[in-house]
Structure 1
Amino acid sequence: MESNYIYLLIEDNVIDQLVTKQLFKKILDVSEITVVNNGREGLQWLNDHRNLINQPLIILLDIQMPEMNGTEFLKEYENLPEELKRETQIFMLTSSLDSEETNRLKDNSYVTGFLSKPFPAKEFEQILLQNPSLENNPK
């Protein structure tokens, strides 16, 4: 699958980072994925790199992280300039899709969807292939 996206994984767990990177490479044939350890590092990466990227960005955002979790990241993300947020999709990563926090995040306009952990690469591939709004008209 040829990728038209840049990927940013915001995840504190090293095992989940390695597994996700391997699944991206093996199943999605994507060898480049930027990994940062928490929401604060994710915001810094966006500020430092987003204007240099001419492709849509997909952020895979863990909900539970130390220093700055996914919910806190989204609050700060909202304040970023629109040009940094343009053509960006955010998928939340969670161990449990039934948590109270997940239910609160479902109403966040920046959240495109939710994915369970470990990263469901085949499911994500189908989302990319079948969702016209992701393929042809990113947020």
Structure 2
Amino acid sequence: MGGGYWPVADVLAYLAGRWRVERDVRDLASGERGRFEGVTVFGALAGGGLLHEESGTFTWQGVARPATRTLRFLPGDTPGTADVRFADGRPFHALDLRSGRHVAEHPCAADLYRGEFTVRDAGHWGTVWRVGGPAKDLVLTTGYVREG
């Protein structure tokens, strides 16, 4: 996603609701490509924050399978930011979209996940995750479009 960024004063308020998701997955080592299509719902969590529930179909090497993912977006240390955690509560990354763009890193065993989040406007945002290391060499590009 290029061009200008759209600043978000409160990431949790911005994300709340239902988003259509399209994700391109490229394995740079093998040249294989996959695609995820589905929805992400950011619903209220008791005690504050949002529960991110993603569901859809992931197609890899011509085989389509159901896929889901759950994350927790909790209020961050700074107003308007979020602390993103895995479903089991382990830390994933911080998220600050007050400039309309954020770069996050997450070490996973010997691999490093580096994500760039960009906001285009009130109804469009995206991520590009680059995963590199001995086990993985991937680029995951995701676009989100607000529904309703």
Whether the TM-score (by the shorter chain) exceeds 0.5 is: no
Larger relative helix fraction: 1
**TM-score normalised per structure 1:** 0.34
**TM-score normalised per structure 2:** 0.32
**Highest Rg: 1 or 2?**
2
